[in-house]
Structure 1
Amino acid sequence: MTPEVAVTGIALDDWLAQSQVFDYRGHQIRWWEAGAGEPLLLIHGFPTGSWDWHYLWQALAERYRVIALDMIGFAFSDKPRKYRYNLLDQADLQQALMQHLGIDRYHVLAHDYGDSVAQELLARHEASDGFLCSMCFLNGGLFPETHHPVLLQKLLMSPIGPLIGRRYNRARMARTFGNVFGPQTQPDERELDGFWRLIEFNQGPKIMHLLIRYMADRREHRDRWVQAMQATCLPLRVIDGAVDPVSGAHMVERYRQLIPNPDTVLLPDIGHYPQVEAPEQVLKHYLAFRQQRVDVTEEATTPA
């Protein structure tokens, strides 16, 4: 039985003060680390950053060595104007940080855009000697055929994408977030202020049309990623906000159709950001996953 654990948020200024920096291909990448024990890599989504995990950070750090970075083009990391942004490069970045830290094996908890980065890591894991221990997905486009992009994403993918990005502002962001959060778990003004700081830092809206190319990456690599999920022996779980119009219950239905022995948790009335909307529930179900699926598997495979 997983005990109930309280979650405590971290103010954005305090979060930023805890960051460190490392170099990736000549660019400065912000990253965070806390706790001790088995390494757990947290991978954020689009269009925000690793502050998305701030409600879960301290509780997870009491149990694991938690690590996160702002991917290139996101939040407080560099946002170069001339850069070939793609999901495979973001996976390279995650692996570069783990190599920088000397970590050979780790668990992954991912969300949204980060789910696709995690899928690429899983495909690499399956094609190698293996470096992952478990993987847990929150709401994300695991299957392009079930991903329902919001209007902003569609416009950014269009020929007028650069113009849309330049005109993106806090009010438009608030409307978009309001549409994808659950009706009873809407972000408050403090959270919206924080999300906007992540996006607008270093003129981030001007590169949003470059970042959005990840939707094409998902289509290109879909079969390889799904095959890796179908073939893996790695413990997998999906924790999903059911009323998310982008990747809610309809995505989980597809997951159950395609993935053998699917381990899924649907959170009623929760939208696209369960780690923000219902962090206690996410923590409860993630810890249960670790206790029931991961730790048991590791004990069974560890030589006596």
Structure 2
Amino acid sequence: MADQLTEWHGQGKTTSVPVRGVPRAVFRRVTGSGSPLFLLHGFPASSFEWAGVEPLVARRHTVVTFDFLGFGASEKPKKHRYSFFEQADLTQALIASLGFEAVTLVAYDYGAIVASELLARELPFRIDRCVFLNAGLYADQYRPRLIQRASLWPVAGRLLARSLTERQFVRSWSRVFSPEHPLDPGTAALHYRALRAGDPDPDLTARLLRYIPERAAHRDRFEPVFTGTEVPLSFLWGMRDPVSGPRIARELRSRKPDADLVEYADAGHCPHLETPERVATDILTRTGLRS
């Protein structure tokens, strides 16, 4: 009997998407019907993290999930210098290839940085709404875990990336889940398998983590988006998150007192994995609003 990850991949397909003049193999799924809704995943996971939310929101939307370059079942070019600007190019190209004139974005963690870049661009399509889940929206309020900070050091980063076992992965990731909704080890093992799929560069996780200094270096481009864009924004926030929880929520409230911010008192860094039904309901409530 196929496990959930195998079924997830079996119901999608890998397609070629041109990114900066280079054709890239990108895994994607398209389910449901209705207005287009893109679910953008975080680090260190893949589109599979939306498995609990996707079928619920697909009742009212055409839902597109995909793996960013270097993640999941998408291409993992060895020795590649990953950038979320490139991931935004990929997302934009994928939307164009599907022929959508307007989309809604739901963006979590790493995906939220990509969504922020898209909001800062002049685009050939319209973004009707963007729903953010826990992410380091403000660089000075973001608190990456020790293993993430260490992974940014050139030598230590390579050593940590090459020695990342499933047990270490599960232990590290479990620390950002709430006590009320702990990480299931079996589910975590599937996410680890997705991370290591395709015999990737042994330095992969260290290379992907370069998004942290890259985001900080471009904060003047991204942070004004959350108060200045004309696109309606919503924020669904796990308040037990030690990485980007209460500090980010408070900063958002101070800069945008009227922000549509939903605080989940019993959820950690991954509300869509911890309480997918509640998150799906709140997404659908917001995609049903008229801007």
Question: Normalized against structure 2, the TM-score is what?
Answer: 0.93
Determine whether 1:49 maps to 2:46. Answer: yes
1:133-212 matched pairs, under 5 angstroms: 133-159=128-154, 160-204=156-200, 205-212=202-209
Q: Distance in 2 between matches of 1:283 and 1:153?
A: 29
Match among 239, 245, 256 for residue 259 of structure 1 = 256
5+ residue gaps, structure 1: 1-9, 298-304
Q: Judge conservation of contact 1:185–1:277 (CA < 8 Å) in 2.
A: yes
Q: Deviations over 1:43-102 (max 9, x none)?
A: 000011000000011111110000011000001111111222101000000011111111
Determine whether 1:272 maps to 2:265. Answer: no
Q: Distance in 1 between matches of 2:43 and 2:265?
A: 23
Residue 301 of structure 1: aligned partner: none
Q: Distance in 2 between matches of 1:276 and 1:119?
A: 22
1:23-38 matched pairs, under 5 angstroms: 23-24=16-17, 25-38=22-35
Look up the equivalent residue of 2:10 and give its one-letter code.
A
- 1:261 offset after TM fit, Å? 2.2
Q: Judge conservation of contact 1:230–1:260 (CA < 8 Å) in 2.
A: no
Secondary structure of the structure 2 residue equivalent to 1:296: coil
Residue 214 of structure 1: aligned partner: 211
Q: Distance in 2 between matches of 1:76 and 1:152?
A: 24
Secondary structure of the structure 2 residue equivalent to 1:261: coil
Look up the equivalent residue of 2:16 and give its one-letter code.
D
- What count of residue pairs does the alignment treat as equivalent? 283
- 1:104 offset after TM fit, Å? 2.1
Q: Judge conservation of contact 2:40–2:112 (CA < 8 Å) in 1.
A: yes
- 1:259 offset after TM fit, Å? 2.8
Determine whether 1:296 maps to 2:290. Answer: yes
Q: Distance in 1 between matches of 2:278 and 2:254?
A: 25
Shift in CA distance, 11/129, structure 1 to aligned 2, threshold 3 Å: closer
Could you say which structure has the higher helix fraction?
A: 1
